[in-house]
């Protein structure tokens, strides 16, 4: 298996990733955080607002390369989704109920996406963790 370190010259030179690169990096990150049992899909959908999505119903993550502008954005996005996976792993079936309750509360309060505490925590986690990945691989 190719390690992310072997992809680094390509990433730095081209500033873009192939679908295969996205999958390899995502798998390495998932394994590093102990959530390697998640399916990874790369979507060809264009002009989509999301960068990636974690689907807790079938434990899969969909990556939207057309919206990811650079490696840093991809790393942040994967880390954000990884915290959702870790929450799901920890809370099990309670995750779905609690996440949906948070969505409802944020909607009612008009606080938007980050009014959902799961989303706010995932964003904070990504920002905290991303430097480890940048230092390690870029």
10-14, 51-55, 57-61: lowest mean pLDDT where?
A: 10-14
Is 31 part of any domain?
yes
Q: Please tell me the pTM assigned to this model.
A: 0.85
Instruction: Write the CB contacts of 22 (distance below 8 Å, at least 6 apart in sequence).
Output: 40, 42, 63, 65, 68, 74
3-17, 48-62, 100-114: lowest mean pLDDT where?
A: 3-17
Is 136 part of any domain?
no
Confidence tier at 9 by pLDDT (50, 70, 90) = very low
Question: Measured between alpha carbons, how far is 95 from 31 in angstroms, rounded to an integer?
Answer: 21
Question: Measured between alpha carbons, how far is 79 from 76 in angstroms, rounded to an integer?
Answer: 5
Is 1 part of any domain?
no
Is 137 part of any domain?
no
Three-class DSSP category at 46:
coil
Question: Measured between alpha carbons, how far is 42 from 110 in angstroms, rounded to an integer?
Answer: 32
Q: How many domains, the chain?
A: 1
Is 55 part of any domain?
yes
Determine the structural domain holding residue 89 and report its residue range: 7-131
Is 107 part of any domain?
yes
The pLDDT of residue 122 is above 90:
yes
Determine the pLDDT at residue 138: 66
Confidence tier at 15 by pLDDT (50, 70, 90) = low
Query: What is the distance, to the nearest Å, from the Cα of residue 24 to the centroid of all Cα atoms in its chain?
Result: 13
* CATH for 66: 3.30.2010
């Amino acid at each position: 298996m190719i390690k992310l370190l072997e992809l680094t010259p390509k990433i730095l030179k081209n500033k873009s990733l192939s679908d295969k690169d996205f999958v390899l990096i995502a798998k390495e990150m998932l394994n590093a955080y102990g959530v390697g049992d998640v399916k990874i899909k790369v979507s060809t959908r264009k002009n989509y607002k999301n960068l990636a999505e974690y689907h807790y119903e079938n434990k899969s993550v969909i990556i939207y390369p057309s919206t990811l502008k650079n490696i840093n954005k991809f790393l942040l996005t994967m880390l954000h989704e990884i915290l959702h996976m870790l929450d799901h792993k920890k809370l099990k079936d309670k995750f779905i109920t609690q996440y949906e309750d948070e969505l409802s509360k944020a909607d009612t309060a008009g606080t938007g996406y980050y009014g959902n505490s799961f989303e706010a925590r995932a964003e904070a986690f990504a920002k905290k963790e991303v430097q480890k990945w940048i230092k390690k691989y870029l």
